[in-house]
Structure 1
Amino acid sequence: MDNLVDESLVVFVCSTTGQGDPPANMKKSWRRMLQKSFPRLEDLCFSVFGLGDSSYAEFNFMAKKLHNRLLGLGAECILTRGLGDDQDDGGMDKELSVWLSKLWPALCSVMPETKKAEVVMDPPDQLLPPLCVVEVLSKPEQNGQNGQSNSHFLPAAELIHRVELCSNTRITSAEHFQDVRHIVFKFLHAPPSYQAGDVVGIAPINTDDNVNSLLQRLNWKAEDYVQVKAVGGHTGDVPIYFNKPISIFDLCKYYLDIMGTPRRYWFELLSHFAEDEDEKERLQYFGSAEGYLDVYSYCNKEKRSYLETLGDFPGVQIPIDRFVEVVPCIRPRLFSISSSQAVDASQLTITVGIVEFKTPYKRERHGLCTSWLAELPAGTQLTVSLQEGGIRLPDPDVPIVMVGPGTGIAPFRAFLQERCAQENVAENVLFVGTRSKAKDYLYGPEFEQLQAQGKLSLHTAFSRDQPHKVYVQTRISEQAKKIADLIVDGNATVYIAGNAKNMPEDVQEALRSALQAHQDMTEAEAKQYLSVMKRTQRLQLDTWA
C-alpha cells in the first residue's frame, strides 16, 4: 500500500471477515491507509468489487469502507463498486458478471492509448497460457513430507503446533439428528499461549476412495512422481508443494481440494478439452456469463465437486498442469476453542458439529473436515494453527451477556472457564439454545453446576420440548429488564455466536426491544445505542453461514 501513491489505476477485490473486519492479508495495509499521514491519492483511478454474503450483518462492509476511504483520499472512482453476494440466485457470479462487463470499458476510458493494446478481453475461444508446469519425474524421489503431515495449508511456522488427539466424544444423543463432538487435543511440545475467544485451524485431507476415483477417471498413476513449477520462474506466494518431488497420489490426497465446489471458470477451462460436441457446448454455456444461473443450480446448490463434475463430462481429459492450476489447495477449517488455559494449559478442546445434509435433489453430502475429524481415533497426531479470534473478553469487573445457540456455545465455555478462574468477577449471563434438553444440551451439566455455585445466570431455550417454539430471543425478552439494566447501567459486553441466518438479527431485535421498554429509548435511539456498542466492541458477534 505504500506504493499506492505511485499508481494511476487499481482494481481492488476484497472480502469481509468477523464483524466487518478486513481479511488477514489486508489488515496491515488497511491500518496504514487509516493513518492521518497516509498520502493523498488524487492521481489514482480505482474500482472496488466486494466478495460478500448477505446472511452476515456486516455484508460487504470492507468493500464499502475501502471504497469510501479511497474517495476520502482524493482518488477517482471509475466504476460503481460491485457487491457480490454468495446468497444470490447465481451466487457471486451474478453481480460479478454485470460488474466485469462494465469494467473493461471503464478501464479503457482512462487508460493511455499505448496501454490499451495490452488489455486481454478473455476471448472465450482462446486458451490462455498455463500458470504452472508439471514435470513428470523419470524416477521416484523420496519426499519427506508426503503423507507425514496435514500442515500443507498452515501459516508461518511460529503459528503452527503439533498436537495429539486425546479423546473424540459424541455429546449429542444417538437419537439426535446431528452428531456433535467434543474433541480434546494435547500439545506435544511446550504449550503455546492462547486466549479465550481464539480459534484453531485444522487441515482436512481427502479420502483414499475419492483420490483413487479421481486418478482412475483421469488415467493418472498414483505412484508417479511429479514436480510442479510456476511459469516464468515466479517465486512469490505459491503452494508449499511447488518445486518439490511429490507423488500424484499425495498431491491429490493432501493438497488439492478435489471435493470443493468449482467456480464458473472450471467449466470454461474444461470446454477446451472436451472431445464430445454436446459436452463442449454445455461446458461453454456453463462457463459463460449467460449461464451463471444454470451453473449455480447445477453446481453450487447441489454442492457438486470437481471430482463429480468430471464424472458428468466423461469425454473431458484435462491435463494435469491445467488441473493443478485451477483446483485450489485445501483450505483450513477454523474452529472456536472451547477451553481455557486457566483450567489446563497443556490442552485445547473444540466443539464440532459433523456436517451432513441432503441437497435439493436428495444427494447426501458430508463436510470434508468434520467427517474426517469424526473418524480420527485417540492417539492421532496432527499439525494445527492457533489464530486470534473475532471476540475478546473484557476486564473481569465488566458483566458479560452471552447468547450461544447450538455449537455457538463453544467460545462461551472457554469464557466461563477463564472468568471462573479469576477473582472479583462481575456477573456472567448465558442464554443457551438447543432443540431438546435430553438430546443436544451441550455441556448442560457444566453450566448447571456453575449456576448452582452462583457463578452463572443460566437461561435455556429448548425449542422442541413444548408445543410452542422457544428460542434464545424468547428468553431474552423474558429477562428484558435485567438485560437492559446490565447493558446500560452495568456497561455489560454482549456476545452473540452461532448460525448467521436469522438468529443474530432476531437476538439484536430482542435487545433493542428491551432497551426501549426498560431504558426509555425510542426505536431509533435503541438501534443507535447497539450500533455504538458494536463500534466500541461492547457488542461482539461470532457467526457463520
Structure 2
Amino acid sequence: MSPSQTGGAPRTAAPPFVTTLLGEDKGALLLKLVDGLDTAALHWLSGYAAGLASRPASAPVSVAVPVSAMPAAAPTVPLTIVYGTQTGNSKLLAERLKQQVESSGLPTRLFRASDYPVRELAKEKLLCVVISTQGDGDPPDDSRGFCEHVLGKRAPKLEGLRFAVLGLGDSSYPKFCEVGRVLDARLAELGASRLVERADCDVDFEPIAKGWLDQAFARAREALEPHAAPIAAVVPLRGAAPVATFSKEAPFASEVLVNQRITGRGALKDVRHVELSLEGSGLEYAPGDALGVWPHNPPELVDAFLSELKLDGGTEVKRDGRSLPLSKWLGEELELTKLNRPFLERHAALANNAELKRLLEPSGAEGFRALLASHQVIDLLRAHPAPWGATELVAALRRLAPRLYSIASSSKRVGSEAHLTVSVVDYTAFGTRHLGAASSYLASRAAGTDKVRVFIEPNERFRLPDDGDKDVLMIGPGTGVAPFRAFVQERAEVGARGRNWLFFGEQHFRTQFLYQVEWQEALKKKTLHRLSLAFSRDRAQKVYVQHRLHEAGRDVYEWLDGGAYLYVCGDAQRMAPDVHAALVDIVSTHGGKSREDAEAWLQGLREERRYLRDVY
C-alpha cells in the first residue's frame, strides 16, 4: 500500500543492514537524525553512542540531552593513537585510552603501527604512541615500518604536533623500553611538543600505565574540548553485575591432563608435552595464540633466598595493602629468577659496592649486559652480599609475571584442551643448580592431580591465512615448533587445500625430534607436504634451519613469490636474525634482486602480513 493510500508521510527507506539491527521505523529515524551532519558532528555522535554501549547490556538508561549538546563546531582533528605490540599489551592499553576519550564524546583514531598511513604524520595535531620493546632494543614486528619512517631522513617537521609516548618493556634486558625512548626523543627533535612526559612500563605494567593513561586522557580532553560541545548525561536507572570471565587478572584453574617428556634418554634438553583442560572455562583460542601461565617459584630457590639472607620465611610482610608471610611472597608473588636494573641499583646501593655501581654507568654497559645475561638474583646476592631485611626485599623485588607459551594444538582437533611444548630450564652455574620459574613449575605438575592458573593471550599478528588455498611455510626450531603443530592440525581439520612446509631443527635426531611420529603421519596423510630437518650436533659441521633454507632456496622463493605465507617462531637473538639473513640471500639470488631490493621485498611481505614472526 502506498503512502498516499494510507494518508501518511513517505518514509526514508533504510538500508537492509540498518533495518536488520534496528527495525524499519528506528532505522528510518536514525537516517533522518544523521542526515546532513558533518564529520565533526558524526565523530561526536559516535563517541556518545560508544558511551551508551559501555553500559552493561541489561541496564536501561535515561538520557538527558539538551538541545545545546549537539556541537556547532566540534574538533575536526581527532586524537590519533598508534600502538606497536608483540604480545598484545600495547594494544590493550591503546584501546583503553581510546575508550576513555570516546566516552567523553571526543573523536579518536586507533591504528596498529603497521596500518598507520605515515603520510598523514605531518598533518597530525595530537598523537599518542603506545609501543613495546622486544629483546635488546628492537621494535615489535608490526612497528618496523612506522619506526623506520619516524627515525628516517624522510620524516617531516612536526612543529604543530603535541604527542605522548608510553613504552613497554622488560627491565631484565639492558635496553629497557628503548623503542619508546628513541621515538619520544625523535618526535621532539622533529619539533613536536610533549602532551605528557614519556613513561616506561616494566613487565608489571598496570601501575605506571594507569597513571600515564589518565594524564594523556586529561591533556587530550583539554586540547579537544575548547571546540567540543557539552557531553550528554547518561544516567543508569539500574545496574547489572558483569558476567565473570577468566582473564590474566582472574585466571582459570586448569587441570593437568598430561605431562609427558618427549625428548629421549640422554637428550641435553628436557622438553615436555603438557595438556591442560579448559573444560567449563569458556576460554577459546585460535592457532597462533598463547596460553598465559601463572607460575610458582622453585621451592629450593625460595629456601636459598632465606638461607643466604638469614631471613625467617614466617615473617609477615606488607606490600600493596596485603600482608603475607615472606616465604609466600617469595614463592608465589615475586620475581626471583630474572635480574633487572631497578633491583641491581638498589642492591648496589645497599651493598655500597663500587664494582656494581660502575656497571650501572654508561661506560659499564657491556658488563651490565653480561651480568643480566648470566646471573639470576640469587647469584647477585651470593657474589655481592648486602644487608637485606624482609620488608625491603619484598619492596624491591619485581612482581612475578605470567609466562606465555605458544599453544601447540587446534581446538578443532582437541576440543576444550590446550597443549603446550615446554623446554625445562635446568642448568648449573657458579657451582649451583638453576631452574626456570614457569618451566620447572609445569614440569613438576602431576597429571590428574594438580591444577595450573591460566588465561588466553590472543596473538592477532600470528594467524593462518583466511584463504585455505594459500601455501604456508613454517620455520620453528626447538620449541618454536609448537604453534606449527596447531597450524597443521587446524589446516587438516578445516580441509585447507594449500600446501604446508615445515622447517624444524634441534640438536640430535634420535633424542630431540619433537613430535616425530605426528609429522610422519601428517606427511602420509598429505596434511604436511614437505618437512626439512636440521640436527646441528649429528655431524661435525653444524647444520641449522637457515642452512636448509639456503639449500631449498629456489623452491622457497617460488612458494613466496606465488603467494605463500611465511611464519617464524622461536629464538629472537640468534635464530630469527639468521633466518632473515638467509631469506634476504634467497630473494636476492633467486629473485634477481639487489640486497636492498630483497630487503624491501621482504618488508612488502610483512606489510601484506605474509611474513609473520613470533620470536622471544
| TM-score above 0.5 | yes
Q: Is the Cα–Cα contact under 8 Å of residues 83 and 129 in structure 2 kept in the other structure?
A: no
CA–CA distance in 2 between the matches of 1:272 and 1:538?
A: 49
Select 2:93's aligned residue among 25, 35, 57: 25
RMSD: 4.7
Q: Is the Cα–Cα contact under 8 Å of residues 16 and 52 in structure 1 kept in the other structure?
A: no
Structure 2 counterparts to residues 90-489 of structure 1, below 5 A: 91-92=174-175, 155-157=248-250, 160-218=251-309, 220-228=311-319, 242-263=320-341, 265-270=342-347, 273=350, 279=352, 294=367, 296-297=369-370, 299-305=371-377, 307-314=378-385, 316-318=387-389, 320=391, 322-359=392-429, 364-378=433-447, 379-389=449-459, 390-394=461-465, 395-457=467-529, 458-489=531-562
Structure 1 SS opposite 2:494: coil
Structure 2 equivalent of residue 146 of structure 1: none
Q: Is the Cα–Cα contact under 8 Å of residues 266 and 287 in structure 1 kept in the other structure?
A: no
Structure 2 SS opposite 1:495: strand
Ranked by relative contact order (alpha carbons within 8 Å, sequence separation 6 or more), the top structure is 1
Q: Structure 1's 223 and 397: CA in aligned 2 closer, same or farther, altered over 3 A?
A: same
CA–CA distance in 1 between the matches of 2:95 and 2:265?
A: 43
Q: 1:38 offset after TM fit, Å?
A: 10
Stretches of structure 1 that go unaligned for 5 or more consecutive residues are: 3-13, 112-152, 229-241
Q: Structure 1's 71 and 478: CA in aligned 2 closer, same or farther, altered over 3 A?
A: same
Q: Is the Cα–Cα contact under 8 Å of residues 224 and 248 in structure 1 kept in the other structure?
A: yes
Q: Is the Cα–Cα contact under 8 Å of residues 121 and 156 in structure 2 kept in the other structure?
A: no
Q: Structure 1's 20 and 43: CA in aligned 2 closer, same or farther, altered over 3 A?
A: closer
Q: Structure 1's 174 and 74: CA in aligned 2 closer, same or farther, altered over 3 A?
A: farther
The amino acid of 1:201's aligned partner reads G
Select 1:53's aligned residue among 111, 116, 135: 135
Q: 1:447 offset after TM fit, Å?
A: 0.9
The amino acid of 1:475's aligned partner reads R
Stretches of structure 2 that go unaligned for 5 or more consecutive residues are: 1-46, 48-81, 99-107, 195-245
Q: Structure 1's 351 and 452: CA in aligned 2 closer, same or farther, altered over 3 A?
A: same
Q: Is the Cα–Cα contact under 8 Å of residues 55 and 501 in structure 1 kept in the other structure?
A: no
Q: Structure 1's 94 and 283: CA in aligned 2 closer, same or farther, altered over 3 A?
A: farther
The amino acid of 1:266's aligned partner reads F
Q: 1:448 offset after TM fit, Å?
A: 1.1
Q: 1:194 offset after TM fit, Å?
A: 0.5
Deviations 1:370-427 (A, max 9, x none): 1222222112111101111241000212111111111111100000000001124211
Structure 2 SS opposite 1:494: strand
CA–CA distance in 1 between the matches of 2:450 and 2:346?
A: 39
Q: Between Structure 1 and Structure 2, which shows a larger proportion of helix residues? A: 2
Structure 2 SS opposite 1:386: strand
Deviations 1:205-254 (A, max 9, x none): 123333344345555543344443xxxxxxxxxxxxx3234333222211
Q: Is the Cα–Cα contact under 8 Å of residues 259 and 273 in structure 2 kept in the other structure?
A: yes
Q: Is the Cα–Cα contact under 8 Å of residues 400 and 429 in structure 1 kept in the other structure?
A: yes
Structure 1 SS opposite 2:476: strand
Q: 1:480 offset after TM fit, Å?
A: 2.8
| Number of aligned positions between the proteins | 461
Structure 1 equivalent of residue 599 of structure 2: 527
The amino acid of 2:611's aligned partner reads L
Deviations 1:327-376 (A, max 9, x none): 111111110000011112121110011123455x6664322221222222
Structure 2 equivalent of residue 149 of structure 1: none
Deviations 1:291-334 (A, max 9, x none): 5555555x4243130x44344454514461x3333211111111
Q: Structure 1's 290 and 340: CA in aligned 2 closer, same or farther, altered over 3 A?
A: same
Deviations 1:30-51 (A, max 9, x none): 994658999977699x999985
Structure 1 SS opposite 2:532: strand
Q: Is the Cα–Cα contact under 8 Å of residues 352 and 370 in structure 1 kept in the other structure?
A: yes
CA–CA distance in 1 between the matches of 2:256 and 2:129?
A: 47
Q: Structure 1's 323 and 417: CA in aligned 2 closer, same or farther, altered over 3 A?
A: same
Q: Structure 1's 292 and 15: CA in aligned 2 closer, same or farther, altered over 3 A?
A: farther
Structure 2 equivalent of residue 137 of structure 1: none
Q: Structure 1's 324 and 226: CA in aligned 2 closer, same or farther, altered over 3 A?
A: closer
Structure 2 SS opposite 1:421: helix
CA–CA distance in 1 between the matches of 2:589 and 2:88?
A: 29
Structure 1 SS opposite 2:566: strand
- TM-score, with normalisation over the residues of structure 2? 0.63
The amino acid of 1:366's aligned partner reads L
Structure 2 SS opposite 1:342: helix
- TM-score, with normalisation over the residues of structure 1? 0.70
Q: Is the Cα–Cα contact under 8 Å of residues 20 and 58 in structure 1 kept in the other structure?
A: no
The amino acid of 2:570's aligned partner reads G
Q: 1:161 offset after TM fit, Å?
A: 2.1
CA–CA distance in 2 between the matches of 1:223 and 1:478?
A: 60
Q: Structure 1's 92 and 536: CA in aligned 2 closer, same or farther, altered over 3 A?
A: same
Q: 1:538 offset after TM fit, Å?
A: 0.3
Structure 2 SS opposite 1:382: strand
Deviations 1:413-448 (A, max 9, x none): 000000001124211111222222211111111111
CA–CA distance in 1 between the matches of 2:178 and 2:262?
A: 42
CA–CA distance in 1 between the matches of 2:613 and 2:485?
A: 16
Q: Is the Cα–Cα contact under 8 Å of residues 21 and 61 in structure 1 kept in the other structure?
A: no
CA–CA distance in 2 between the matches of 1:516 and 1:283?
A: 47
Q: Is the Cα–Cα contact under 8 Å of residues 275 and 419 in structure 2 kept in the other structure?
A: yes
Structure 2 equivalent of residue 74 of structure 1: 160
CA–CA distance in 2 between the matches of 1:39 and 1:284?
A: 43
Structure 2 SS opposite 1:334: strand
CA–CA distance in 1 between the matches of 2:176 and 2:546?
A: 35
Deviations 1:45-69 (A, max 9, x none): x999985534868699599479669
The amino acid of 1:393's aligned partner reads L
CA–CA distance in 1 between the matches of 2:281 and 2:450?
A: 18
CA–CA distance in 2 between the matches of 1:392 and 1:50?
A: 20
Structure 2 SS opposite 1:92: coil
Deviations 1:75-134 (A, max 9, x none): 4899xx99999999xx338999x99xx99xx9xxx99xxxxxxxxxxxxxxxxxxxxxxx
The amino acid of 2:520's aligned partner reads E
Q: Structure 1's 516 and 222: CA in aligned 2 closer, same or farther, altered over 3 A?
A: closer
CA–CA distance in 2 between the matches of 1:388 and 1:47?
A: 21
Q: Which of the pair has more CA radius of gyration?
A: 2
